[in-house]
Structure 1
Amino acid sequence: MQYKTKRVPFELKNFDQETGIFTGYAAVFGNVDDGGDLIQPGAFTKTLKHNKDRIKICWQHDPYSPIGKPIEMKEDKKGLFVKGQISNTSLGKDVKILLKDGVINELSIGYDTVKKEWKDGVRHLKELKLYEFSPVTWAMNDEALITSVKANEDIKEVLTKTIELLDRLLEKTEVKEKDSSELEMERLVTSIDSLEKNIGNKLKKAN
């Protein structure tokens, strides 16, 4: 597993600058993001059950700059609902002002992918281990860098599956298995088409 981050528009529902308490959504289900990922409902169920007390609120994903703690986290039909409290430290006070003024309006989650499934060029994230979520500054260059890294991972994943399909085809040398081999060939062609489309999309977004 590899630690990753994912930025989403910060849907700030309520914010009390005095107490530092805010509510919003750290992740939304069912939509394909710019990185080609789709978070499925239930992706956070296990991590909220077993890892909830260790999840923190950080500033810009810096583990040495924790700024608060979650008060409530739960999945609903829309996504991962969070209620958090920003601590009254010097950094926390600055963050509260930035949130109130709307300077910071994006949230990013830090996570590991535990279970995923590849479908039609989209990576379905079925289970995630959540470590933290952070208020972040929007930055196009950072997004392009993240997209580039994700593209390399996607290419490796599709190539691995393509090689596996080729190995199975080579093993099937008997004529009686012709129908099965043709089916495998169709799957191979589909995987290659998906790879070509994914590479093109990732390169466009990275540039």
Structure 2
Amino acid sequence: MSVRFAGYAAIFGVPDRGGDVVRPGAFAGAGPVPLLWQHGGAPIGQIEMLAEDRRGLRVIGRVELPELALQVQQGAIGGLSFGYRVQGAQHGRWRELTRLDLVEVSLVPVPMQPLAWVHAVAPG
């Protein structure tokens, strides 16, 4: 069993729980990255599309690990997050991330960015 999903791993202009704000253009040039479970271990599927739009970093992926695919399909897991290295930032009230080296996208139970969730799921 596998499922496909669409959602946002990052939302522009909204502070996350750690005080970071991602700015448009921060992911410019991001290439293929793995899909992980909670930022670790072996890939649990693949990212099929990754692109910035006006709202944030939109992803479409496929979860291929059956037990996680079922939980995503049922809505039990639906948070999205991303691993990165900071290449450019401005400091003020929030740390504004202006350029990032994207390392991975992860499914998580509770995302650091409160608005970063899977919003559509379909059979894979």
Q: Give the TM-score taking structure 1 as reference length.
A: 0.51
Structure that is richer in strand per residue: 2
Tell me, yes or no, if the aligned pair for 2:36 and 2:104 is still in contact at 8 Å: yes
Shift of 1:19: 4.7
Task: Name the counterpart of 1:40.
Answer: 23
Q: Deviations over 1:42-68 (max 9, x none)?
A: 00013x1xxx13x10011211x32111
- Counterpart residue type for residue 23 of structure 1: A
1:97 is paired with a residue whose SS is: helix
1:30 is paired with a residue whose SS is: coil
Equivalent-residue separation in structure 2 for 1:37 and 1:113 (angstroms):
11
Residue 71 of structure 2 is aligned to residue 98 of structure 1: yes
Structure that is richer in helix per residue: 1
Shift of 1:105: 2.2
Matches within 5 A, 1:8-27: 19-27=2-10
Equivalent-residue separation in structure 2 for 1:59 and 1:37 (angstroms):
22
Task: Name the counterpart of 1:56.
Answer: 34
Shift of 1:85: 1.3
- Counterpart residue type for residue 107 of structure 2: P
Q: Deviations over 1:68-108 (max 9, x none)?
A: 11111110000001111122xxxx10111111222112112
2:54 is paired with a residue whose SS is: coil
1:34 is paired with a residue whose SS is: coil
Residue 111 of structure 2 is aligned to residue 133 of structure 1: no
5+ residue gaps, structure 2, are 113-124
Task: Name the counterpart of 1:72.
Answer: 49
Equivalent-residue separation in structure 1 for 2:98 and 2:55 (angstroms):
15
- Rg (Cα) greater in structure: 1
Where relative contact order (Cα < 8 A, 6+ residues apart) is larger, the structure is: 2
Equivalent-residue separation in structure 2 for 1:127 and 1:66 (angstroms):
25
5+ residue gaps, structure 1, are 1-17, 144-207
The size of the alignment, in residue pairs, is 112
